[in-house]
Amino acid sequence: MASMEWLNYHHLLYFWTVAREGSLVSAGKRLRLSQPTLSGQIRKLEASFGERLFERKGRGLVLTDIGQVVYRYADEIFTTGNELLDTVRRGPKGQPVRLNVGVVDAVPKLLVRRLLDPALHLPEPVRLVCREDGLERLLEALGRHELDVIISDAPLPPGGAVRAWDHALGVSDMTLLGTAELARARRRTFPASLDDAPLLLPLASTVLRRNLDAWFASLDVRPRIVAEAEDSALLKAFAADGMGLMFAPSVVAKIVSSRYGLVSAGATDAVRERYYAITGERRLVHPAIVAIREAARGGLLQ
């Protein structure tokens, strides 16, 4: 019987990491290996294939044609391996499936609650572990496999170092909310009534704020900004105290109104927020994430 050749998966992992990181130095830091050790392991892999997998370009490394082929296979292998680990870690049947969720801080938390709700109604119990932060830091955590999904109000930035994919969940119009007194004064002539209106707005760095500012300019109105905040819950508290009016996604406007004693002063489809589920996998396999996407696309969002 002919002897069977075995692929050294440690060497393949080192190759895959260098290809993703783009350099031996970066890959060595991630793997905690010295550059000479890492270089030697990759040379052994090249020797087993009888092909060069990298070639130097300036100070960096680029994949050869055969290296690109090997990388595609390696990517499938280690993506599947991570999925296997996640499945095993969920434990025996009946134990909750752990879903690690990153939430971009600008996304309204009541909307996040509605987006995540379908994951809690699966046949298999799910335990949510949520972490809130900026998109850049959440992507770093996703790259370290600390998160399963990120709920974001923006797609992946171009040229990111983390290998990830964004899956569109849908869009929502915006509704202006305030106390009955403030809303009544602005409702009849909305949106022209936004001129000199006391507004509570998200920070200028957020996607929603940039879209609102562009819309105000197109209407030729100049609202009076009373407060800006990163936390949408803080803006709701301000609005409930009558400090000003705030914008909320129309999909959760009724819930916000009920909880905070606010009423609508008007709604617009000229400003729409888009929401995304960002994952480390091109094809969604986690049942909870699939449920979130299907429910969002099936009617929760437009």
pTM attached to this predicted model: 0.66
Q: What is the CATH number of domain 95-170+275-300?
A: 3.40.190.10
Print pLDDT tens along the chain (302 aa). 344 467 888 888 888 888 888 788 888 887 888 888 888 888 998 888 889 988 887 777 888 888 888 888 888 888 777 767 666 655 555 567 788 999 998 888 889 998 999 888 888 888 888 999 888 889 888 888 888 999 998 888 887 777 888 899 999 999 999 999 999 999 999 999 999 999 999 999 888 999 999 999 999 999 999 999 988 889 999 999 999 999 999 989 999 999 999 999 999 999 999 999 999 888 887 888 888 888 888 777 76
Given this chain, do its domains 9-87 and 95-170+275-300 carry the same CATH topology? no
Strand partners, 199: 225, 245
CATH architecture of 173-272: 3-Layer(aba) Sandwich (3.40)
Residue boundaries of the structural domains of the chain = 9-87, 95-170+275-300, 173-272
CATH number of 9-87: 1.10.10.10
